[in-house]
Structure 1
Amino acid sequence: MSDKNTSEQQTQSTQQDTAAEQQTEQAQANASAQPEQPGEQGDQEQQTQLQQRVAELELALSKAEAKLTEQKDSVLRAAAESENVRRRAAQDVEKAQKFALEKFAAELLSTVDNLERALQLAQTSDDVSTNFVEGIELTHKGLVATLEKFGVAAVGEEGEAFNPDLHQAMSMQESTAHANNSVMAVMQRGYQLNGRLLRPAMVMVARNSGGVDTEA
């Protein structure tokens, strides 16, 4: 082979290499100029998934907070109901203690009445000895003191204002010596047990149109 042919072949080879390099550079330039759509699409999908995950977590948190609030309300209601039950039980026990003697005390009132009648009769009689009268007085005082010790108190005094919650008016009578609508006479004492009325006092009420009205 001649030197001329060899030179031509080298020239052709060099031109081919140069063309190949230009094609490669052009391809790289084209690749760089085009947007990386697959990569951006992946980022968007990841961002969407992340947003969905955040939304799911926020929803779960909201449900958990609502459940916690509901359970807290239930606990508070249960505590309040328990306190109400305890308070009602304590009130029932207190009432039972206060009024356990109600029937027994009511039965004793007739004995007190009989002693008072006997005492009134003895004091107005000349045939009764002083010792007998004193004995009735001591018995009466001892029984009344015992009743008072257990919360039984007498109600109904002459001169006090008529109170329908404590008094039972047996009659009304004109009187200028008493204030209008006041107790002018007690025919039978009333009694309370720790503030609860065992029986009302039987009284006579004064009616005095010219007097002072005790209810005014």
Structure 2
Amino acid sequence: MEEQEKCEATEKIKEQENDTLPNKDSSSMEKKITELENEISNLKDLYLRKQAEFENFRKRLEKDKENFIKFANENIMKDIINFLDNLERAIDSSKQSKDFDTLLSGISMIENEILSSFDKKYSLKKFGKPGEDFDPSQHEAISIEEKEGAKIPEIVEVYQKGYCYNNRVLRTAKVKVAQSKN
């Protein structure tokens, strides 16, 4: 009898489990599976498109960077071309007129134009003049001369001008320095 009671109890438990689980037909489950598979497929497609879009963006950015580097000096080159034109005119003028003072004046004007333009547009400044205090961060002492009464090292002669770009020394001025005999 006990065995029969066990079987009946097992059947009742199985019936109760079936009652608690929702009864869904296989077609609605297949429909849900199909919907989920479609959603997965759409998301995979979207992922691949976004990945391709990002790769194209990265390539465009790299190309833009290359072009920026390639043409970064374009404005400077245009200015240099204008200065070269002025030098060419000065040379042509000197061939017609043998007046040295006129040639010197023209070349000095071109130098001033170059320095002024580069100072305004690019913050390029020339430095190193006799009488300035010696600054080792801007000047390179090529020779030293002893001078009576010199308090601090002072520039007495400039062999080569120095240049700074945006307050950064590009080239130090090569100078002769005077210092006291002490």
Global fold match (TM > 0.5): no
Provide the TM-score with structure 1 as the length reference: 0.37
Q: Which has the larger radius of gyration?
A: 1
Provide the TM-score with structure 2 as the length reference: 0.43
